[in-house]
Structure 1
Amino acid sequence: MSDGYEADPSMTEEYGTGGAGASEERTFAPLPPAPGGAFARSWWGQAWLKALEDSALDLQQVKRGRRLARAGAVGAVSVRPGRITAVVRDRDGTALRSDVLLRELDGEEWDRFLAVAAERAGHVAALLEREMPPHLVEDAATVGVELLPGIGDLEAECACGAWDHCPHTVALCQALARLLDEDPFVLLLLRGRGERRLLAEVQARVPVGPEAPEDREGVPGVRADEAFAARDILPALPPEPVLPEAPGGALSLAVESSPGDGVDPAALEALAADAAGRAYRMLAEALAPGHGERPPAEVLTPAQDAVRLVAEARQPLPEEMAARLAAGSGRRREELAAAVAAWRSGGGVDALRLLEEEWAPTPVESAAAQERLASAMQDADRPLPRPAGPGRWSVPGGRLRVDRAGRWWALREVDGHWIPAGPPDPDPAAASALLAETDG
């Protein structure tokens, strides 16, 4: 594992949905020092530390490891089924790879656990809200499934050569306790199931309709459509989701193992950032007044979406990825730059379509556009623009162009391409004014 790993702990990724084993992994950024106070706040974190103390033979090693963890000596923590790994720096600065192993649950144990989780409505609701109720541990134990490690269950491996828990593996366990404070699902991944797969399997086991289970307090499950139909007599539904201040942060896929053939981590990171931005905009649109009355968004072609991806990227894309997107959009690099500028003008796919097509109005359409232009310019007390081609007129600072829908675009010449200076306007005088604004 690399010393220099950087990642955002709020943005972790799970790879694969295969069997209880190898392909699922989450990597967390190094945690900052924790100079004082309780090292774990949550029930899950404290229960994990109790298991560590029960497993360690030498409590002095536990104390030394706790001091290392408090000092921020633990690097990025990788969690996968059966193993957690990190580079831990000793007091003299030596970097040592440390691993802690915990047995994965087998298929039969997972079946029993999932049956218990799906049996009780409270468990299902909590899990779907990404919460892990502590009493789930007790219910799982009743069917012989131990989620938390017991005495001697945590096996240590460290490059320092210690045969039992050393300060480095203890520090790693301390760091995991802090991660469990934020996300108890990390424990289930360590036991062999990633969060997405686990939730999908729980949902698949929950019957709907008359067969819906009762929880142990005797409250029956209710179908969502039935709940909405009875919304006037049932308790109030939860409030609508709140729009975050911004999309999620950057994601790093820098992990210890090398990617497979044909896998480009930088491209995947860019696509993940794009997905987060699109999800954010979709939520903002869904929460906006009148969303239900608006037509669905236009489905982009692959070539159009390649331009959109470059135009909306929150950070510059890797050079190789930008070259592939240019090829995928059917453009040379300089043509892609013009298309991106058109998209960013505020016109989106309409601006891109304007750049691509060579539509010319019929004589009747041209006469109507000329009449509309003359009237608008007279009202705005401006001189009538000079014709510059079919559906085009020269104005100070650029051109005006009318499209098939009768909208007017202000165009500015950039590197030999006429690029929209802003979104279209039904008023040609207002579109012309946009050129004057951008000049200023």
Structure 2
Amino acid sequence: MPVAQRRRKAILQMEKLRKKGAAIAPVRIEGRQIARTFWGKAWCEHLEKFSDYENRLPRGRTYVRNGAVCHLEIRKGEVWAKVMGSHLYEVQVKVKTLPEDRWKTVKERCGGKVASLLDLLRGRLSERVMEVVTDRDSGLFPRPKEISLACSCPDWAEMCKHVAGVLYGVGARLDERPELLFLLRGVDHKELVGSAQAGSVIARGKKGGKHKKLADGDLGEVFGIELAAPPRKAHSARGGRRTARRLGRRGR
């Protein structure tokens, strides 16, 4: 299908969805560069490092550049998208949340090195912190084995061009809202700043030679904030492992 025709179809489909009351968040690329900021570029470059993806991703660049990704939503552990091809296809990308021990290691290695939340989100980080968060095996970005892909198109390849377009679309979306990477991996980005501040307070406390447990009120005074009561743990109503299912496929 010619690019101009696909673009027109994508615009018409988005209008139809909006009229039905759907909150549509299309991916819009200006120029040839898909991602421009630290977080967006880091996402794209990370995926391109893996041989599993290197031959399949390029097909998605054309799709995302030409406005074929009509809707893209990032949630905890998954990305949902609608992509215009011969038809409007649904794409689901599941991403495992960051293991607790891996997140703990990232926080420890970044301790005291992230100046502020604003610096974190804008990618104004030291070379050392950049190395930690972008590390291929132990950083924030998912490895291929932590990602599962599905598309409703008739192409049975695990990564079709619609899925590839969505993966690049995530990079473009991180340009606008970098905090969504942390949501996707199931961690709180504010902890990278908070852990650094807490670490310095704990270090100063140890120098005093007294190991005293602080009450919530004392912690509030240390950090200059009012602490809310800790939330209770929610018990999952779902039992056992949920079986992943392939999205329903439509004909060409």
TM-score by length of 1: 0.36
Rounded Cα–Cα distance in structure 2 between residues aligned with 1:140 and 1:58: 21
Match for residue 32 of structure 2? 37
8 Å CA contact retained: 1:82, 1:102:
yes
Residues 1:127 and 2:121 aligned together: no
Q: CA deviation at 1:191?
A: 1.4
Per-residue deviation, residues 277-313 of structure 1 (Å, max 9, x unmatched): xxxxxxxxxxxxxxxxxxxxxxxxxxxxxxxxxxxxx
Q: CA deviation at 1:176?
A: 1.0
TM-score by length of 2: 0.59
8 Å CA contact retained: 2:93, 2:149:
yes
Q: CA deviation at 1:171?
A: 0.8
Q: Structure 2: which amino acid aligns with 1:126? A: S
Residues 1:177 and 2:171 aligned together: yes
Rounded Cα–Cα distance in structure 2 between residues aligned with 1:173 and 1:146: 18
Q: Structure 1: which amino acid aligns with 2:73? A: S
8 Å CA contact retained: 1:114, 1:201:
no
Give the structure with higher Rg (CA). 1
Q: CA deviation at 1:140?
A: 5.2
Q: CA deviation at 1:186?
A: 2.0
Sort the Cα spacing of 1:199 and 1:111 in 2 relative to 1 into closer, same or farther, 3 A.
closer
Sort the Cα spacing of 1:112 and 1:6 in 2 relative to 1 into closer, same or farther, 3 A.
same
Match for residue 294 of structure 1? none
Q: CA deviation at 1:169?
A: 1.0
What is the correspondence of 1:351-390 to structure 2 with a 5 Å cutoff? none
Equivalent position to 2:99, from 101, 106, 109: 106
Per-residue deviation, residues 366-386 of structure 1 (Å, max 9, x unmatched): xxxxxxxxxxxxxxxxxxxxx
8 Å CA contact retained: 2:95, 2:184:
yes
Match for residue 16 of structure 1? none
**Identity in percent:** 26
Q: CA deviation at 1:164?
A: 1.5
Match for residue 64 of structure 2? 69
Q: What value does the CA root-mean-square deviation take over the aligned residues?
A: 3.4
The number of equivalent residue pairs is 183
Secondary structure at the aligned position of 1:208 is classed as helix
Rounded Cα–Cα distance in structure 2 between residues aligned with 1:152 and 1:107: 17
8 Å CA contact retained: 1:157, 1:163:
no
Per-residue deviation, residues 162-221 of structure 1 (Å, max 9, x unmatched): 34211111111111111222333222222111445x4685377344397189xxxxxxxx
Per-residue deviation, residues 18-75 of structure 1 (Å, max 9, x unmatched): xxxxxxxxxxx212244x322112233223223333255573x433321111111113
8 Å CA contact retained: 2:116, 2:193:
no
8 Å CA contact retained: 1:87, 1:98:
yes
Secondary structure at the aligned position of 2:74 is classed as strand
Q: Structure 1: which amino acid aligns with 2:177? A: D
Q: CA deviation at 1:154?
A: 3.6
8 Å CA contact retained: 2:75, 2:183:
yes
Q: CA deviation at 1:130?
A: 4.5
Secondary structure at the aligned position of 2:57 is classed as helix
Rounded Cα–Cα distance in structure 2 between residues aligned with 1:201 and 1:126: 9
Sort the Cα spacing of 1:209 and 1:128 in 2 relative to 1 into closer, same or farther, 3 A.
farther
Sort the Cα spacing of 1:208 and 1:52 in 2 relative to 1 into closer, same or farther, 3 A.
closer
Equivalent position to 1:81, from 63, 76, 87: 76
Secondary structure at the aligned position of 1:75 is classed as strand
Q: CA deviation at 1:95?
A: 1.3
Residues 1:160 and 2:153 aligned together: yes
Residues 1:191 and 2:208 aligned together: no
Rounded Cα–Cα distance in structure 1 between residues aligned with 2:39 and 2:193: 23
What is the correspondence of 1:297-376 to structure 2 with a 5 Å cutoff? none
Higher relative contact order (CA 8 A, sep 6+): 2
What is the correspondence of 1:197-208 to structure 2 with a 5 Å cutoff? 198=191, 202=195, 205-208=198-201
Deviates more, 1:64-73 or 1:183-192: 183-192
Secondary structure at the aligned position of 2:141 is classed as coil
Q: Structure 1: which amino acid aligns with 2:182? A: L
Rounded Cα–Cα distance in structure 1 between residues aligned with 2:54 and 2:197: 45
Q: Structure 1: which amino acid aligns with 2:42? A: A
Sort the Cα spacing of 1:37 and 1:137 in 2 relative to 1 into closer, same or farther, 3 A.
same
Q: Structure 2: which amino acid aligns with 1:97? A: E
Q: Structure 2: which amino acid aligns with 1:32? A: R
Rounded Cα–Cα distance in structure 1 between residues aligned with 2:90 and 2:51: 20
Sort the Cα spacing of 1:73 and 1:108 in 2 relative to 1 into closer, same or farther, 3 A.
same
Rounded Cα–Cα distance in structure 2 between residues aligned with 1:146 and 1:178: 20
What is the correspondence of 1:143-154 to structure 2 with a 5 Å cutoff? 145-150=138-143, 153-154=146-147
Rounded Cα–Cα distance in structure 2 between residues aligned with 1:70 and 1:139: 30
Q: Which 5+ residue runs of structure 1 have no aligned equivalent?
A: 8-28, 214-440
Rounded Cα–Cα distance in structure 1 between residues aligned with 2:29 and 2:108: 40
Equivalent position to 1:96, from 85, 89, 94: 89
Rounded Cα–Cα distance in structure 1 between residues aligned with 2:107 and 2:182: 12
Deviates more, 1:187-196 or 1:164-173: 187-196
Secondary structure at the aligned position of 1:101 is classed as strand
